[in-house]
Every structure is written in structure tokens, then in C-alpha cells.
Chain A
């Protein structure tokens, strides 16, 4: 079974629209970590955010915001006023291991922002 599900394979939005990327995870551990990464066309994954299971506060960083809800096992990512530079593949990931060695990545959501 998939531990991290990103149901949206591809999304297209027009510049300046808001867009939410969904991430649903599955774990029985009480301590775990969730991550979002951005993969631009160049290929390198860029770390965006880490959230641990004990911190359900939503976070905002500029145009980016994250909504962590343990009740629905979701860790959604919203980009406000999207820009062409936001076009990339976005990956959600889960780490259950306390050492952080075992990462489970979702299959990614490809976001295209149309100018």
C-alpha cells in the first residue's frame, strides 16, 4: 500500500491563481515527519518544509502555506498567487524512522503555471 498518496498527477493553473496540492499519508507510528520537495525542470529536489507529527500548526512562508491535519492524515500545500517559476513537480514525503533513514515519497504532482 502506498504510504504517501498524491492523487493529483498534473495540475495546470493560470498565473496568479491559487493552487492546492494534496498529500495523504498512512502510518501507524505516533512520531513521524512529513516533507515537501520541489523538483524544477533542472531535476534537483529542493527541500521546502518539514513538519513533525506533534506540531499541527499550519505554516506560511511567503506565498507558500501548509495545512497539516492529523485527523485526516493530510499535509496539503497551497501556493497563493502562483507564478510561472512555481512550475515544477512537487513531492510529499513521509519519514517514520526515528533515524530519518527511511523516506517514503509520493509519486509527485506536476504543476504548470500558465502565463
Chain B
């Protein structure tokens, strides 16, 4: 089945450690996104990528990094510079043509203590 996978579902890290969240899609979509969701705040865009080897910062990119070496994969690294990394992280992808809706993965809940 086509879709977006994110692993793991739950992730625990100690403060000061970098952590990488995985996002893979087999929908042949060109664009991929990372969002952060905090309670009561909706979704905020961290990074997005329209094509391989290219990505742009979203609204809250500080403390995060990404790579896009393959069309199918868009991993997100939460660095130790991110001051409040505990959140629910959602990955999405979108085809390059209409319709423009984004399709989401199941999310990764990151807890940093």
C-alpha cells in the first residue's frame, strides 16, 4: 500500500542529544514537509522540500536540520540547540500537480527529558 511511514512512534531522549526522525514515502510525491504540533497550537511548519537535494526553512526551523538525498526520504534531525523539542512531529508529502492536498504520516512523539 502507498503511504508515508514515520518511525518510531514514540521516542525518548536525554537533553543535549541530537535525534533523527525518519520519514519515508512511496507515493512518488515530489514535495515533503515536517510539522511540529503542540497542544492547542495547530501545526507549525519546520522545513519543506520540493525536490531532491533542495529544502527550505519553514516558520520554526531553528534547532532543526533536514536532508533530502532521495525522493522517498526526508529525515529530520532535532538538535540540542532546539530549546523545547518535546512535541509531536508530523511528516507530510504532496504531489507536484493538482490536487494540492498534503498526505500525512502517523507522526512521532518525541519526549526529551
Given the known A-B contacts A95-B100, A100-B94, are A44 and B42 also in contact in the complex, defined by CB atoms under 8 Å?
A: no
Q: Which residue of B lies closest to A95 (CB)?
A: B100
Q: Mark A81-102, 1 if CB is under 8 A from B, else 0.
A: 0000000000100010001111
Taken together as a complex, chains A and B put the C-alpha atoms of A66 and B105 apart, in Å, by 25
B residues in contact with A44, CB < 8 Å: 90, 104-107
Chain B interface mostly: strand
Partner of B48, one of A47, A101, A105, A108: A101
Given the known A-B contacts A50-B99, A101-B48, A103-B45, are A9 and B40 also in contact in the complex, defined by CB atoms under 8 Å?
A: yes
A residues in contact with B99, CB < 8 Å: 50
> For this complex, into which size category does the number of interface residues on chain B fall?
20 to 34
Taken together as a complex, chains A and B put the C-alpha atoms of A56 and B106 apart, in Å, by 32
Asked whether B17 is an interface residue with its Cβ less than 8 Å from the other chain, the reply is no
Asked whether B76 is an interface residue with its Cβ less than 8 Å from the other chain, the reply is no
Pairs across A and B, CB under 8 Å, 10 listed: A37-B104, A43-B106, A44-B105, A45-B90, A46-B104, A50-B99, A50-B101, A100-B31, A101-B50, A105-B43
Q: List residues of A whose CB falls within 8 A of some B CB.
A: 9, 33, 35, 37, 42-47, 50, 91, 95, 99-103, 105-108
